[in-house]
Amino acid sequence: MSDAAQFAEAHFSEYLEKLKNLVRIPSISFDGFPPEEVKRSAEATAKLLREEGLENVEILSIEGSHPYVYADWLHAPGKPTLLLYAHHDVQPVGREEVWKTPPFEPTEKEGRLYARGSADDKAGIIVHVAAIAAYLRAQKKLPLNVKLMIEGEEEIGSLHLEPFLKQYQKKFQADVIVITDTGNFDVGVPTITNSLRGIVATEVTVKVMDHPLHSGSWGGPGPDPVIALSKIIASLVDDEGKIAIPGIYDEVLPLSPVEQKSIESLSYTDAIYRQQAFLLDGVEIIGGEAPPLKKLYRLPSLSVNAIQASSRKNMANIVNDSAWCKIGIRTVPNMNADRSLKLLCDHLKRTAPWGAHVILEPEHTAPWWTTNPEGPVFDKARKALTEAFGRECVVMGQGGTIPFVGPFSEALGGVPALLIGVEDPYTNAHSENESLHLGDLKKAILAAVYLYRELAD
């Protein structure tokens, strides 16, 4: 074992403490949450990078964006340069009362660290930092050059990616991108992600009246907006649970024979999905005959992320004036985002019953991404991951979205993007009681140490 690898092993608990410090900052990037916390999280990240020996540490931003953190170490002339990415912002906590431990007080339990952002994606920051520190502290130098980019608004769709890229593209020039923000096939199974889904979404308001009315005095002749919205939503899927928006599947790229084989080789069954997703007894698997992994990353899915009309607290015998929801479609190769969003929006307008007014507020779209996981960079990554985890590495797609990946690797001239992460099927990212498997964090750090060694050649 090299000095760096030994250092990473021996000092793991210190980096776990540094992770806990990051996690204590409620850096929720969503509208309506204090942006100062995201700023504080950027500053804490910058301080950490500085303390661990990174140079040119800088907080970058673009008009209106949450802060990005940049740092580098560029003293390996002639060696490749890696662009290391993670994000320091997090999702809102959801229902406080459902959390078994306080969301921003990191708590260790049965080998996992519970807290919002523990896995998604503050652990991703620590993987880079701990691996770099292992070299700089144990060997005084890295075997290659690194540039770090830690984003502050990934969870809201990387809204300023385009202007950010325009302004800083040169600064980020690199030979390989390494992104630590994805999941592993299972606990202890190292995974390289070769495709991500994209997303298109819109808020929908259905309005029929100026203000709510007494449901006894006025209910009957006028339509109910909640029922109107329900009918619209119901029309989005067929009885099998497939998306019923005409044309939505037209551009979906079929799996190649190699991809088909790769999915089969993972032997992921409906029963495994049922168990990992904690589906209740008797609840059916929907979406037709396709294998579950294909449904998770090579077929679109539609979700109603939130819905509202009056509230449980204000419940009264009224006819509501309006009903609201947010609907998202996860897109897959080769679905065009603008076209898919338009099909969704047109469908929502077209299916509104009773002349109900439909007001749409479409969100910024994020593209899907896919790569051919072949060539020396992927071979070296496989080797590093297999060595660190002590078992064969898996290559697969994932259903989540990282808006940064496609545009950035394109802007850097199509350089390979390596997606490795520490989420696992039990992480509960975006939900309550998010957690990180500590054994996998340690292995992921070791894998990064080996990866730098491999890529230095």
| 132 phi, psi to nearest 5 deg | -65, -45
Site for ligand BES in 92-131 (CB under 6 A): 120-121
Q: How many CB atoms lie within 10 A of CB 34?
A: 11
**Is the Cβ of residue 154 or residue 387 nearer to ligand BES in the bound state?**
154
Tell me how far, at minimum, the Cβ of 453 lies from ligand BES, in Å.
26
Which of 201, 255 has the CB closer to ligand BES? 201
Q: Does 423 bind ligand BES (CB under 6 A)?
A: yes
Q: Is 162 helix (H, G, I), strand (E, B) or coil?
A: helix
Residue 152 binds: one of Mn ion, ligand BES, none (C-beta under 5 to 8 A by kind): none
Q: Applying CB under 6 A, does 398 fall inside the site for ligand BES?
A: yes
What sign does the CA torsion over 138, 140, 141, 147 have? positive
CA distance 148 to 177: 10
Max alpha carbon distance in the chain (Å)?
Answer: 80
Residue closer to Mn ion by CB (options 120, 153) is 120
Q: Which is nearer to ligand BES, 18 or 122 (CB)?
A: 122
**Cα–Cα distance between 213 and 219 in angstroms, integer?**
8
Tokens of 162: 């385009």
Residues 366, 329 contacting (CB under 8 angstroms): no
172-201 footprint of Mn ion as x/- string (CB under 5 A): ---------x--------------------
Q: Pick from 401, 409, 433, 435 the residue near ligand BES by CB under 6 A.
A: 401
Question: Which listed range, 49-57, 176-184, 267-275, 378-386, lies at the site for ligand BES (CB under 6 A)?
Answer: 176-184
Tell me which residue of 382, 446, 389 sits closest to 188, measured CA to CA.
Answer: 389
Which residues between 98 and 127 bind Mn ion (CB under 5 A)? 120-121
Shortest distance, position 374 Cβ to Mn ion, whole Å: 26
Decide if residue 300 touches ligand BES (CB under 6 A): no
In whole angstroms, what is the distance from residue 71 CA to residue 280 CA? 46
Q: Regarding beta strands 198-207 and 81-87, do their DSSP bridges make them parallel or antiparallel, or are they unpaired?
A: unpaired
| Binding partner of residue 401 among ligand BES, Mn ion, none, CB cut-off 5 to 8 Å per kind | ligand BES
Question: Between residues 182 and 370, which has the closer beta carbon with respect to ligand BES?
Answer: 182
**Using the rule CB under 6 A, which residue among 52, 72, 151, 155 binds ligand BES?**
155
Shortest distance (Å) from residue 201 CB to ligand BES: 8
H/E run at residue 46: helix 35-51
Q: How far apart are the first and last CA of the chain?
A: 18
Does 153 participate in binding ligand BES (rule CB under 6 A)?
no
- In the window 337-356, what residues touch ligand BES (CB under 6 A)? none
- Which helix (H) or strand (E) segment is 292 a member of? helix 292-297
Do the beta carbons of residue 88 and residue 22 sit within 8 Å?
Answer: yes
Which partner in ligand BES, Mn ion, none is near 200 (CB below 5 to 8 A by kind)?
A: none
Q: Which does 67 bind (CB under 5 to 8 A by kind): ligand BES, Mn ion, none?
A: none
Closer residue to ligand BES in complex, CB, 81/195: 195
DSSP code at position 47: H
Q: Compute the Cα dihedral for 20, 436, 28, 179 and give only its sign.
A: positive
In 3D space, the residue among 178, 207, 167 whose CA is nearest the CA of residue 83 turns out to be 178
Helix, strand, coil percentages, rounded to 5, for the chain: 35, 25, 40
Query: Using an 8 Å Cβ cutoff, are 358 and 235 in contact?
Result: no
Task: Supply φ then ψ for residue 302, to 5 degrees.
Answer: -120, 130
Is 151 an interacting residue with respect to ligand BES (CB under 6 A)? no
How many other β-carbons are positioned within 10 Å of the β-carbon of residue 121?
Answer: 29
Q: Binding of ligand BES at residue 181 (CB under 6 A)?
A: yes
**What's the CA gap between 414 and 416, in Å, rounded?**
6
Residues binding ligand BES: what is the number (CB under 6 A)? 18
- Helix/strand/coil for 73: strand
> Closest approach of Cβ 403 to ligand BES, in Å?
5
Binding letters toward ligand BES, positions 196-235, x by CB under 6 A: x--x------------------------------------
Residue 387 touches which of ligand BES, Mn ion, none (Cβ within 5-8 Å per kind): none
Nearer to ligand BES, 196 or 449 (CB): 196
CB of 42 to ligand BES, least distance (A): 16
Q: Cis before residue 72, ω within 30 degrees of 0?
A: no
Among the candidate windows 97-105, 240-248, 254-262, 397-405, which touches ligand BES by CB under 6 A?
397-405
Residues at the contact surface with Mn ion, assessed by CB under 5 A? 120-121, 181
Residues at the contact surface with ligand BES, assessed by CB under 6 A? 120-121, 154-157, 181-183, 196, 199, 366, 398, 400-403, 423
